A and B are shown apart, each in its own frame.
Chain A
Amino acid sequence: MSVLDSARDHWLARHAAWAPTRAGEPAWLTALRREALDAFAASGLPHTRLEEWRHTNVAPIARVPFELSARGASPVSREALEAVSFPVYACSFAAFVDGHYRAELSSPRALAGGVRVLALTELLAREPERLAAELGRLVDAKRHPFAALATAFLDDGAALLVPRGVELAQPVHVVFASSGTQPDRVQHPRVLVVAEPRSRVQVIVDHVDLHPARGFTNAVIEVYVGQGAAVDLVLVQREADSVYHVSNFAARVDHDAQLSLHTLSLGGALVRSDASLLLAEEGARCRVHGLFAGSGQQLLDQHTLIDHAMPHGESRQLTKGILTGSARGVFRGRVIVRPGAQRTDAEQSNPNLLLSETAEIDSKPQLEIHADDVKCRHGASIGRLDEGALFYLRARGLEERAAREMLTRGFASELLDALPVPALGTALASLLGARLWGAAPGDAP
């Protein structure tokens, strides 16, 4: 029996043991869970013969018999959590530890219109039918085995429901922290954002760990952007290099609505992220900013799909990769313009920077255009630090390392400067340096 087959059996057995604890939940959720489990049972874990997975061998994940972590099992102090959290103040803050909501660590300040982050478990208990139409409806469990697994084990997560016309001036900050108190735990963090027509919200989702330990994070994020609404979403993945991280992001953007997605992938041993954005109605717009940076033996594999289904849509995608050591990166970005999606304006760009001889990147931008009156551009590049620029900085007295850091940050700054919360850009710039060169900063301020 192959390692992938044994892993499937392991997960199915775990599910059979765990499912009875979910007794009493609404029928639609039981059905959703069952469908996802069936999809997973049918597909198993993906093998590298599948085109979508050819660069990413998930055997390292399959080999570990991951266990679910029990609710409230890990003692975590507010100070410990604050020490690793980004300095985003005046926000509604929701903390999850090992996948479970922790009220005592959260400050779910109500923002405009009484909006706050809700724990999925609480919301499901209070209003069992409230999320029936949205939860698990955007991510396609049949197409992605890990999404199927996550939905089969759907437990806790963050739900953010922004009513019609409500504009939130302050961001919503959701932290998923791994305690690291026990090794080989799996969590299935889940986020659901429903921005009703003409609402506005900024959301920061941060995956971080408190102590490094081998673990598996299998996240699902679903976002609905209603007519005329605007959502800014920042997804940060900065877990330890001993963590396997798979995430599935799916969004639907309606008429004249705008979604800005910022993904920052910095940590993890093996990271696979899929983001799929459906521009479902006329005039829908999206901006996709991605930055992935890896060192050591990290594998960072990002797939995006921007689907222009209707006319007058606009998409702007800029994803940059920075790799050093023996890290490997994959970017596969598909942009589809459906028949009839006339006057679509799509732009995609994937510049990459390699800082070592042994780092590797595989970039594959793909445009699939089925309409004739469209404006679409795409491009990808792979480069190294410019020797002339390096000499210029050193000739002014900067240490070689500081000069390399400065040029690398310069490469990333376009993305960091575009973050909706400036404090995040500053924090991430230092984190980027620490990830690529170790903790000691150069003599650049």
Chain B
Amino acid sequence: MTQLQPMLEIRDLHASAGGVAILRGIDLVVRPGEVHAMMGPNGSGKSTLSNVLAGRPSVEVTRGEVLFEGRDLLALSPEERAREGIFLAFQYPVEIPGVSNSYFLKAALNAQRKHRGEPELDAMDFLQLVREKMKLVEMDEKLLHRAINEGFSGGEKKRNEVLQMTILEPRLAILDETDSGLDIDALRVLAGGVNSLRSPARSMLVITHYQRLLDYIVPDCVHVLSEGRIVRSGGKELAQELERRGYGWLEAGPGATGA
């Protein structure tokens, strides 16, 4: 796989939020088809990394660069990134009163199709697509006609994120603690939805605090983030080791290996 151009290449990335330095030199290469897990204790910078990649305006990149398929990702607006194929499954999906989930999903899908020069889907075709994907994530169809995430349970919000991902079919999916707050059955269903998207042309960055999710979404590489740096990288067995030993032994020693 090494001969393929990287899907994502992060070089010496530093970023801060609210004037506080959070990412302090991240280097990472994700190739097409690979699933990378980003683990680490609370406050290590996992969510900041996902927000930098999606383009959240409140996070400021202070140094370094990010290339998406060889192009400067940081120069793009959040919507351009989405249209180029980056998807962030939010850790805290936002509730938006007054805008129906189906209206939003259709607008988002068609904005992306239009960008790719594909014909926009009409109401019938869209409904057919969304119904099929809702079955995949076992989501109640009633939620389609409700306002975006409004009054959704924690699990319903996460299902809605994965539903959007299966509809938008991104090339790089970033899952930010999609497992948090889920019971084991919901976790299994959502992992099924995510796994259905695995393909040689699609990469994923799975951010999680717990190894549990990685039993279902099996990664090619596991990285450990601590105080804004990747302090250890390895195969899927690294996640199991972390599960056994916790994060303490990594924070204590140096041992950063890069990606």
Q: Footprint of B on A, CB under 8 Å?
A: 386-389, 391-400, 402-403, 406-407, 409-414, 443-445
Contacts and interface: CB of A to CB of B under 8 A. Distances in A.
A386 B94 contact: yes
Nearest to B122: A445
Shortest beta-carbon contacts, A-B, top 3:
A410-B98, A397-B82, A396-B108
B96 A392 contact: yes
B103 to A, nearest CB: 8
Given A397-B79, A407-B99, A445 B54 contact: no
A392 B150 CA distance: 14
B55 interface: yes
13 contacts: A386-B94, A387-B58, A393-B96, A393-B104, A395-B78, A396-B111, A397-B79, A397-B168, A407-B99, A410-B99, A411-B97, A414-B97, A445-B120
B107 A444 contact: yes
A403 B96 CA distance: 11
B111 A402 contact: yes
Nearest to B167: A396
A445 B103 CA distance: 8
Contacts of A443: 107, 110-111, 114
Contacts of B87: 395
B88 A397 contact: no
B98 A397 contact: no
Nearest to B113: A397
Contacts of B168: 396-397
B56 A391 contact: yes
A3 to B, nearest CB: 43
Contacts of A445: 103, 106-107, 110, 120
Nearest to A386: B94
Nearest to B150: A410
B99 A398 contact: no
B57 interface: yes
B111 A409 contact: no
B147 interface: yes
Contact of A397 (B56, B103, B111): B111
B98 A409 contact: yes
A93 B55 CA distance: 52
A396 B55 contact: no
A413 B103 CA distance: 13
A414 B90 CA distance: 26
Name, among A387, A395, A443, the residue most crowded by chain B CB atoms within 10 Å (CB to CB): A395
Contact of B83 (A397, A407, A414, A444): A397
Contacts of A389: 94, 96
A443 B106 CA distance: 11
Most buried by B among A388, A391, A399: A391
A395 B94 CA distance: 12
Contacts of B88: 395
B93 A392 contact: yes
Contact of A402 (B58, B77, B107, B112): B107
Interface residues of B, number: 34
Contact of A388 (B81, B94, B104, B107): B94
B104 A400 contact: no
A396 B82 contact: yes
A395 B78 CA distance: 5
Given A396-B82, A396-B104, A445-B106, 10 more contacts: A391-B54, A391-B57, A395-B54, A395-B56, A395-B81, A398-B107, A399-B79, A411-B98, A413-B98, A443-B110
B79 A398 contact: yes
Contact of A413 (B94, B99, B115): B99
Interface string B161-205: 000100010000000000000000000000000000000000000
Contacts of A403: 79
Contacts of B98: 409-414
Contacts of B99: 406-407, 409-410, 413
Contacts of A409: 98-99
A227 B231 CA distance: 77
Interface in B86-140: 87-88, 90, 93-94, 96-99, 103-104, 106-108, 110-112, 114-115, 120
A445 B99 CA distance: 13
A391 B55 CA distance: 8
A402 B114 CA distance: 14
A386 B95 CA distance: 10
A409 B104 CA distance: 12
Nearest to B108: A396
A366 B28 CA distance: 59
Contacts of B114: 443
A394 B77 contact: yes
Contacts of B97: 410-411, 414
Contacts of B77: 394, 400
Contacts of A407: 96, 99
A392 B87 CA distance: 11
B46 to A, nearest CB: 17
A398 B108 contact: yes
Contacts of A411: 97-98
A392 to B, nearest CB: 4
Contacts of B94: 386, 388-389, 391-392
A399 B82 contact: no
A348 B57 CA distance: 36
Nearest to A413: B98
Contacts of B54: 391, 395
Contacts of A412: 98
A410 B111 contact: no
A79 to B, nearest CB: 30
B62 to A, nearest CB: 20
A115 to B, nearest CB: 36
B110 to A, nearest CB: 7
Nearest to B120: A445
Contact of A398 (B81, B90, B111, B147): B111
B82 A395 contact: yes
Nearest to A410: B98
A410 B96 contact: yes
A273 to B, nearest CB: 24
A385 to B, nearest CB: 10
Contacts of A402: 107, 111
Contacts of B90: 392, 395
B1 to A, nearest CB: 28
Contacts of A413: 98-99
Contact of A394 (B82, B103, B115): B82
